[in-house]
Amino acid sequence: MQFEAVPAIDFSNLSLVPRTVSSIGHRADVRCDVAIGDATLRIPLIGSPMPDVCGPEMCVALAQLGGLGILHRFQPVQDQVEQFRSASSSAPADGVVGAAVGITGDFQERFVGLCEAGCRVVCLDTANGAHTQVAAAIEWVKRAAPHAFVIAGNVGSAETFRWLEDQGADAVRVGIGGGALCETRTETGIYAPTPQAVLEAAGVRRRALVIGDGGVRSPRDLCLLLALGADAIMLGSALSGTREAAGREVVMRGKRYKVARGAASLSVQLGMGRADPQHVEGAETMVPFRGEVGPIVRRYVAGLRSSMAYLDAPDLAAYRRNATFVRLP
């Protein structure tokens, strides 16, 4: 047994503190772009491949806003391929649309179909990224399409991030059990706070991008992860309930809601053909309808730009260099 006596950092016990005098004239003067393979995102924000978040409409909306949507895989192969074609043809010329595949079952057929449709950013979507099956999937994808940009994960430590990087992952989702619709923490006892996971991954990474994934519920959370060393942030529940979210709309007592389900929820597993799921680690709920996704994304980006101005950071590299933190009681 190993026990770490130093408490992990989490969103609740961490804050940024400016220790430099800013020369940034206006928050609009900062740049927060990030390279994803051959493409460049204007904002470091990625939509999660959750079944009720990233459908084709969300992918197009995020591409228009300068981010990246990862089209979810919880549907028949041909449906996902057609949705990818539709989304990529509707995205702006400089926009990027990605897609998710699993690591077993039909993942090879799914990847080939998506690749033939023009997909170049693929997410190997599985809960435990530190698994030999993920390594085998990365090896197969890199053989089939050497130029594909492969996102893998999730992992929660420096050791497992470095292992995935060594397997050839181009970017790694870090953080386990922090999502609002994830029940891994309560069902398994496994929990890696996303800030701690990002800090560890950023400390050992050599080339792979660090994607903070899980628990981001406000612009503040996004800022903390980027300052800790993340290259981009994945949003899931924060985008649910919007018009573009893939979840089904429901009207109850005159009020509009949208369904939001975790990827490992019972209904999603049943929908994927698992007649008797043995374990459920995803929640199912309804969230109030929140209107267009644009204002939500712009709020997150405005918060980041303001934070960068506080830290006299014209770009994300300077933001990380200038960041200082204090622990909260």
- Which structure tokens are listed for 133? 């099956």
Give the strand pairing for 68-71 and 171-174. Answer: unpaired
Is 182 among the residues known to form the active site?
Answer: yes
Q: Which of 193, 212, 192 is nearest to 202 (CA)?
A: 212
Residue 248 DSSP label: P
Other CB atoms within a 10 A radius of the CB of residue 124 amount to 24
Which of 327, 315, 324, 318 has its CA nearest to residue 33? Answer: 315
The one catalytic residue among 115, 123, 182, 223: 182
Amino acid at 273: G
Rg (CA), the chain: 19
C-alpha span between 125 and 268 (Å, rounded): 14
Q: Is 2 exposed, middle or buried (0-12, 13-18, 19+ CB in 10 A)?
A: exposed
Distances (CA, A) of 60 to 65, 72, 74: 9, 13, 18
In terms of C-beta density within 10 A (0-12 exposed, 13-18 middle, 19 or more buried), how is residue 166 classed?
exposed
Tokens encoding 17: 């503190």
- Can you tell me the distance from the alpha carbon of 256 to that of 250, in angstroms, rounded to the nearest whole number? 6
Residue showing tokens 């539709």: 86
| Catalytic residue numbers, as ranges | 182
